[in-house]
């Protein structure tokens, strides 16, 4: 196994610090596509402090070992060969702190307009939206996020959005760990260069998001929950949620829709191996029958080529691909 000595040193360091880690964890179970080989070594830090410790230990003992940081894997396609280095799975780092719980007079605070909500990177975006819409909280701004299957960290990196809103509208800051220097820093909203499915973190894969702070407004709890129910019903009606997928495959073109272009090109239902363009929503590629990452990548190329022939426009993929890491880097790139 490549990087064997570094991985063994990391394994012992994690165990010495009481951090859960495993050899040869199947990564398919950690992605919404249900595709991917095994990780050489996986680790599950339980909070911000442990994530920082894990990344610091990687800097100390990693010795060139590739690193992949993974949340719920909802916008990710992992190589069939797995990953030869260390995979940090953040889903146990899910602490949430509401500003209103930190003040002496909560009733007086709630007579204001906004409440800041701090959340660690591994928190479920859907669970956060649901908690904020609870009758006791009635915090508005994350209704769009209910049903998005990723984590807060991934949502910040990709500026996740739906139903006319996105993370950019409510995120005011994000904290990150710099793998190059070992330093921890915070970016404010204007510094994060948030745009459609983009943030500055995509330009800096060495920056690992640790947490975010959202600015939510006090609203009517029943109206908030009604909007979330409507959103999830719309998802169930229009999207192929009965099959594993990574959500919308392609970014929205200017003045058009990727799904419409794919449908017009006659590609609904087209398959490569076990991967298929959904017959329910052409913007989705589904894992219909034990698809491999190679099946998905070939189908992405086929769709892009056929759409380009018809529209003279090349669709831009938004799914991130994690290679096996054997080239020595972090393995992140867009599916091509």
Q: 330: which residues sit within 8 A by CB, 6+ positions away? A: 66, 67, 68, 205
Contact 151, 91 (CB under 8 A): yes
Active site residue 140: no
Residue 297 three-state SS: helix
Catalytic-role residue among 48, 137, 197, 288:
197
Catalytic-role residue among 137, 318, 320, 323:
318
Residue ranges of the alpha helices (H) in 17-67?
48-61
Burial of 219 (0-12, 13-18, 19+ CB in 10 A): middle
Strands 38-44, 83-89: pairing is: parallel
Distance CA 294, CA 300 (A): 10
Tell me the HSE value of 116 on the side-chain side, using a 13 A CA sphere: 10
Active site residue 173: no
Active site residue 197: yes
Catalytic-role residue among 42, 79, 248, 323:
248
Residues annotated as catalytic are: 197, 248, 318
């Amino acid at each position: 196994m490549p990087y064997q000595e570094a991985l063994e040193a990391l394994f012992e360091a994690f165990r010495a610090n009481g951090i859960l880690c495993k050899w040869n964890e199947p990564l398919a179970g950690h992605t919404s596509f249900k595709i991917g080989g095994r990780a050489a070594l996986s680790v599950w830090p339980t909070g911000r402090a442990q994530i920082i410790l894990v990344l610091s230990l990687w800097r100390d003992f990693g010795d060139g070992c590739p690193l992949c940081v993974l949340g719920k894997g909802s916008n990710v396609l992992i190589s069939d060969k797995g990953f030869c280095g260390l995979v940090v799975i953040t889903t146990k780092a899910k602490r949430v702190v509401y500003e209103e719980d930190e003040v002496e007079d909560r009733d007086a605070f709630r007579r204001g307009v906004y409440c800041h909500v701090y959340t660690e990177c591994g928190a479920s975006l859907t669970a956060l939206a649901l908690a904020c819409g609870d009758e006791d909280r009635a915090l508005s701004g994350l209704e769009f996020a209910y049903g998005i299957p990723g984590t807060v960290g991934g949502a910040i990196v990709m500026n996740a959005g739906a139903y006319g809103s996105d993370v950019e509208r409510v995120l005011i800051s994000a904290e990150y760990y710099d793998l190059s220097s070992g330093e921890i820093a915070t970016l404010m909203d204007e510094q994060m260069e948030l745009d459609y499915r983009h943030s500055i973190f995509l330009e800096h894969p060495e920056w690992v998001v640790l947490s975010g702070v959202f600015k939510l407004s006090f609203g009517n709890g029943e109206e908030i929950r009604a909007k979330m129910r409507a959103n999830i019903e719309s998802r169930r009606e229009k999207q192929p949620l009965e099959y594993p997928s990574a959500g919308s495959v392609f970014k929205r073109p200017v003045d058009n829709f990727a799904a419409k272009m794919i449908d017009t090109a006659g590609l609904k239902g087209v398959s490569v191996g076990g991967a298929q363009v959904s017959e329910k929503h052409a913007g989705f590629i589904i894992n219909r029958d034990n698809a491999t990452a190679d099946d998905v990548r070939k189908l992405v190329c086929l769709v892009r080529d056929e759409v380009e022939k018809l529209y003279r426009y090349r669709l831009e993929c938004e799914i991130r691909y994690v290679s096996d890491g054997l080239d020595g880097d972090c393995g992140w790139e867009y599916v091509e």
